[in-house]
Amino acid sequence: MVGDGSWLSNREFANTLNSIDSKALKEEFAKEYIKNNISEGLSATHISAKIRNNFAGGTFSSKDYLSETSDGTFLWELMAPWGKYYWRTSQYCFVYVFLIYTFMFIGSIVAVVDLARGNDIPFVKVITDISFFGIVLFLMIWESNNRQMYNQLPVLVVNLFANTEYLLGKVHKRRV
């Protein structure tokens, strides 16, 4: 509920909660923490920081849980989060995720327009769109950490293909 919603921004809360022995005291502490931070948790600044951290981090990892080491090799400089060239590597590698997001966004808008016009929408597309909405909802409520998306990648890839097929079908119908 604080900062960008990550564990690092909420470390004091997590450490305090872990130090409490009783379940009842943990519940009381958590309720008090939520009560004290609800205005920040619902602010536009917090929500936009959480969206950036979840969906535009440029990596599927969390520096909070890694240890900083160096072997001095060029590969380490490219792949390790503390490497000199990591930001470039992660940007190039993360392009496919933004491609997925773009096709899902455009496909969803076209589907809503088609739905308003009374047209049918393919079942797979509807299911994958609902699944992605569920992923977004989960990540916005849970700890802000895009490594939670590792296990969601198959759904995202199926959604990419469903939206691509849907959009290409729309383009093909307009040409014919």
pLDDT one-digit tens code per residue, 99-147: 788 888 888 888 989 989 999 898 888 888 888 888 888 877 777 666 6
Q: What are the tokens at 81?
A: 């989060």
**Residue written as token pair 């119908």:** 173
Are 88 and 102 in contact by the 8 Å Cβ rule? The answer is no
**Binning pLDDT at 50, 70 and 90, where does residue 153 land?**
confident
8 A C-beta contact, residue 160 and residue 104: yes
* The residue type at 100: I
- Identify which of 79, 43, 77 has the alpha carbon closest to the alpha carbon of residue 61: 79
Look at residue 124 and give its three-state secondary structure: helix
123 touches 64 (CB < 8 A): no
Say if CB 160 and CB 99 are below 8 A apart: yes
- Give the pLDDT of residue 146: 66
User: What are the b/e assignments for 42-54, b being 16+ CB within 10 Å?
Assistant: eeeebeebbbebb
**Backbone angle region of 72, left / alpha / beta, with phi > 0 → left and psi within -120 to 50 → alpha:** left
Q: How would residue 4 be classed by pLDDT, with cut points 50, 70 and 90?
A: confident
pLDDT for res 117 = 93
Mean pLDDT calculated for residue range 7-24: 87
100: Cα separation from own chain's centroid: 12
- Going by pLDDT thresholds of 50, 70 and 90, the confidence category of residue 27 is very high
Q: According to the model, what pLDDT value does residue 59 have?
A: 58
Average pLDDT, the chain: 80
Residue 66 has pLDDT above 60, yes or no: no
The residue length of the chain stands at 176
